[in-house]
Amino acid sequence: MKRTAFFISDGTGITSEALGHSLLAQFDAIEFEQITLPYIDSVDKANEAVHKINSAAESDQARPLIFDTVVDENIRAIIANSNAFKIDVFSSFLKPLESELGADSNYSVGKSHGIVERTRYKDRIDSVNFAIDNDDGARTKQYANADIILVGVSRCGKTPTCLYMAMQFGIRAANYPLTEEDLEFNKLPSVLEEHRHKLYGLTIDPFQLAAIRHERRPNSRYASLDQCDFEVREVEKLFKKLNISSINTTNFSIEEISTRVMAHAGLERRMN
């Protein structure tokens, strides 16, 4: 079974996407074609969106799904006339919340993802820059300022996890790749010793690691299953020996890895 889902917003569409993805993920038996239509902030754009929605309905022979975070009532009314099943995020959640709080909401376009508070935005950018500057052991002198240091073999997910934690939570995350030489001596590089309390390990299934590395360096020793199996086995032994908390990233998304690492490490979000 195939259905089309539209995420429609007069802002970035991030909120409608986040809600929609979470709900659609519960339906494994259905294949969803997911289409995001951001910045639908005029009547013309709304009519164009309705045309796309109705075309999808005709093509699929089934009503598309709409996850909508449009503020303007006129634009919402136009979209509501499309041949689709519509979930209006604001009317579904804000109206009951207004009733409970006894106050009207601001109904501001893009407020949840705009630069509402400059200090908070600057913190996010600083955290992202920190993650980039301290990627792959590039600047170990800054580790004193890190909230957490991810360690693991090459290509196990350290960099994207650091960047996600920086973007979403304002966490200053560094990462350091444990090399074959480190693993052969079964010890941490000296630069990590004084920061052992900040270390958190990432590991991965050797078969998946080999597949990931093969995309980067095809048919190399680096990407061979034997090499990947050796490195994963040795890094897990090192984590156990030094009592370094770790997570196997094989079956988790970057979002899940990040939140699990933060929960295990006792880190709290810096940005609200």
Q: What is the 3-state secondary structure (H, E, C) of 195-257?
A: CHHHEEEEECCHHHHHHHHHHHCCCCCCCCHHHHHHHHHHHHHHHHHHCCCEEECCCCCHHHH
45-56 pLDDT, tens digit per residue, is 999 999 999 999
pLDDT of 251 strictly over 70: yes
How high is the pLDDT of residue 155?
A: 92
DSSP, collapsed to helix, strand or coil, labels residue 258 as: helix
Nearest-10 Cα torsion for 210, 215, 219, 220? -70
Q: Which two tokens stand for residue 117?
A: 């508070």
DSSP state letter for 146: -
**Which residues in the chain belong to E strands, given as ranges?**
2-9, 31-37, 65-69, 85-88, 148-152, 173-177, 199-203, 246-248
- Alpha-carbon separation of residue 15 from 79, 82, 104, 209, 233 (angstroms): 18, 21, 20, 32, 40
Q: What residues does each domain of the chain span?
A: 2-101, 114-265
How high is the pLDDT of residue 113?
A: 47
Instruction: Mark residue 170 as left, alpha or beta (left: phi above 0; alpha: psi -120 to 50; beta: remaining).
Output: left
Do 199 and 149 form a contact (C-beta atoms < 8 A)?
yes
DSSP state letter for 63: P
Put simply, whether the predicted model's pTM sits higher than 0.85 gets the answer: no
Q: Which residues are annotated as a binding site?
A: 152-159
How high is the pLDDT of residue 88?
A: 82
- What would the mean pLDDT of 210-226 be, rounded to a whole number? 94
Report the percent of the chain where pLDDT is more than 90.
61
CA angle 117, 122, 128 (to 5 degrees): 135
- What would the mean pLDDT of 192-211 be, rounded to a whole number? 96
Q: Predicted confidence band at 4 (pLDDT cuts at 50, 70, 90)?
A: very high
161-178 pLDDT, tens digit per residue, is 999 999 888 899 999 999
Which CATH number is associated with domain 114-265? 3.40.50
How high is the pLDDT of residue 214?
A: 94
Q: Predicted confidence band at 252 (pLDDT cuts at 50, 70, 90)?
A: very high
Q: Predicted confidence band at 108 (pLDDT cuts at 50, 70, 90)?
A: low
33 φ/ψ angles, rounded to the nearest 5 degrees: -90, 115
Q: Which residues contact 74 (CB under 8 A, 6 or more apart)?
A: 43
How high is the pLDDT of residue 230?
A: 95
Identify the residue whose tokens are 């709409």: 66
pLDDT of 109 strictly over 60: no
Q: Predicted confidence band at 120 (pLDDT cuts at 50, 70, 90)?
A: low
The region of weakest confidence among 111-115, 188-192, 195-199, 233-237 is: 111-115
How high is the pLDDT of residue 272?
A: 52
pLDDT of 115 strictly over 50: no
pLDDT of 97 strictly over 90: no
Q: Which residues are annotated as a binding site for ADP?
A: 152-159
- What would the mean pLDDT of 124-130 be, rounded to a whole number? 81
Do 162 and 135 form a contact (C-beta atoms < 8 A)?
yes
How high is the pLDDT of residue 200?
A: 97
114-265 has the same fold as 2-101: yes
Q: Which residues contact 65 (CB under 8 A, 6 or more apart)?
A: 3, 4, 5, 6, 20, 24, 32, 84, 85, 87
Query: CATH number of 2-101: 3.30.2320, 3.40.50, 1.10.3470, 2.60.40?
Result: 3.40.50
